[in-house]
Structure 1
């Protein structure tokens, strides 16, 4: 009887350690969206002591949804504004754990060399994503093409109260937005999209947005994961000088870091 109890105890202890080993061995999953995010994640994976698996998503909201559902452990990158909006909309508690860089959005054109060339009824293409669309509308407001209603922080086309050139604003999926450079008079592109097309935002845009802290790109995790040792280790890797130099080597003066 005593031997039987001892055997059961040994089996339970061994099972406990086996489960612990399995959990410890599970890779930390990083969610990414863009090709650039993937490159950064690969760089972090190559330098980190933590076993990392990279998971690619179509949109940042897909990545956030999977983070909430515990299918990934952290994601990069999204703007701080986007993260705040996601938490507000979904009653979420995803936490910012690192701030990396800002790439300003800008207005680009293959048909005009200056925003002053705009004509009545001009077509301007902007991203369809709600946060990026709001950011684009703020940019058009900043340059003086439209006027937005006051007292809000996020905007839709319905919030335009003045449109002196009667411009037609077309919301387009980011995957096909660059193609509209051939069709529209002007296109609003993110710094990353512009860079991937061979543009230098500083010199090739007809107008570039002013720096806004809410547009900084951040890393997010679940609130309950903040004290996990593997996540703390990876956050240190993300914040390292090596990672920031890697980003600068790719983007150069086109970002603020």
Structure 2
């Protein structure tokens, strides 16, 4: 890697660290509460207020794409279903799950099952994930230097996410594209599990948030759909290879605390998120950067 690339990675890494510190210290962007002590409307369950025929439910999301998808549901489907949806936006996954644990929200919509299970083990928190899942932020392989994978040269520099689950996903897409081979039956895989590397690809693990900024400095980059959406790229036109929905292990779904999964409000919300109108909205808006789960 030349000096210019090293310098760019260093500068971005410092900026990313600073942003992460401030993000992790942030608070809820939406912190509206209902004072039931002075409100004559009866409270029927945690975070639930019956207003006429509508039941209120609070959902934690990340802004894109989950927040946008839920906003579509709130405006177009929830009123007829008798749900009054309050969207609580987080930029930090730890805060989102902590708010769920503390009862500040009823459910959240931002994480895939492997992330939920790992978080639960580390934080001693039991959660429930609804399946089939709702959408996949697929990992795509992108390049600003090459128009096809056939153009990728020997010793090419390839960036992949540095978190365990997304690194696994990016490496599997590279394997499906015949650029590398990985040890079989390993879950999750990492760069050390590469068994064949005909082009001697140089794998560089970086935070996912740096993928777009560093794209001009590398030959290939594995980028998840949520970052692609925010970058303005179009997965259906720009990705050289993409993750499939045939085995949607890393698809995002609705989650809640174990034991609350039978809450009628949450069940109703899950059905709305799985509605065909939502699937069509996802297809039309994100053009492959986000994929609805069949």
Counterpart among 248, 260, 263 of residue 225 in structure 1: 260
Are the aligned partners of 1:124 and 1:185 in contact in 2 as well (CA < 8 Å)? Answer: yes
SS of corresponding position for 1:133 = helix
* Runs of 5+ unmatched residues, structure 1: 1-14
Give the superposed CA RMSD: 2.9
* 1:146 to 2:175 alignment: no
Q: Which of 78-87 and 219-228 deviates more?
A: 78-87
Which position in structure 2 is the counterpart of 1:21? Answer: 43
Q: Which of 71-80 and 160-169 deviates more?
A: 160-169
1:1-57 C-alpha deviation (Å, 9 max, x unpaired): xxxxxxxxxxxxxx8x97953854295321112422111222223342333322222
Which position in structure 1 is the counterpart of 2:146? Answer: 112
- Determine the C-alpha separation between the residues in 2 that align with 1:25 and 1:71: 14
Change (3 A) 1:18 1:43: same
Are the aligned partners of 1:103 and 1:256 in contact in 2 as well (CA < 8 Å)? Answer: no
- Determine the C-alpha separation between the residues in 2 that align with 1:32 and 1:208: 25
Q: What TM-score do you get using the length of structure 1 for normalisation?
A: 0.79
- Determine the C-alpha separation between the residues in 2 that align with 1:137 and 1:226: 34
SS of corresponding position for 1:25 = strand
Counterpart among 132, 141, 155 of residue 189 in structure 2: 155
* 1:30 to 2:63 alignment: no
SS of corresponding position for 2:130 = strand
Q: What TM-score do you get using the length of structure 2 for normalisation?
A: 0.70
Whichever structure has more helix as a proportion of its residues is 1
SS of corresponding position for 1:55 = strand
Counterpart among 139, 148, 155 of residue 121 in structure 1: 155
Are the aligned partners of 1:226 and 1:232 in contact in 2 as well (CA < 8 Å)? Answer: yes
* 1:69 to 2:102 alignment: yes
- 1:150 deviates by 3.1
Pairs within 5 Å for 1:1-257: 20-21=42-43, 23=46, 24-25=48-49, 27-46=56-75, 47-48=77-78, 49-87=82-120, 90=123, 92-98=125-131, 99-211=133-245, 212-252=247-287, 255-257=291-293
Change (3 A) 1:31 1:131: same
SS of corresponding position for 1:210 = coil
Change (3 A) 1:184 1:242: same
Larger Rg: 1
* Runs of 5+ unmatched residues, structure 2: 1-36, 51-55
- Determine the C-alpha separation between the residues in 2 that align with 1:91 and 1:66: 14
- Determine the C-alpha separation between the residues in 2 that align with 1:144 and 1:61: 36
SS of corresponding position for 1:120 = coil
Q: Which of 120-129 and 24-33 deviates more?
A: 24-33
SS of corresponding position for 2:253 = strand
- 1:177 deviates by 1.3
- Determine the C-alpha separation between the residues in 2 that align with 1:145 and 1:66: 42
- Determine the C-alpha separation between the residues in 2 that align with 1:129 and 1:56: 22
Are the aligned partners of 2:61 and 2:89 in contact in 1 as well (CA < 8 Å)? Answer: yes
Are the aligned partners of 2:59 and 2:87 in contact in 1 as well (CA < 8 Å)? Answer: yes
Are the aligned partners of 2:140 and 2:243 in contact in 1 as well (CA < 8 Å)? Answer: yes
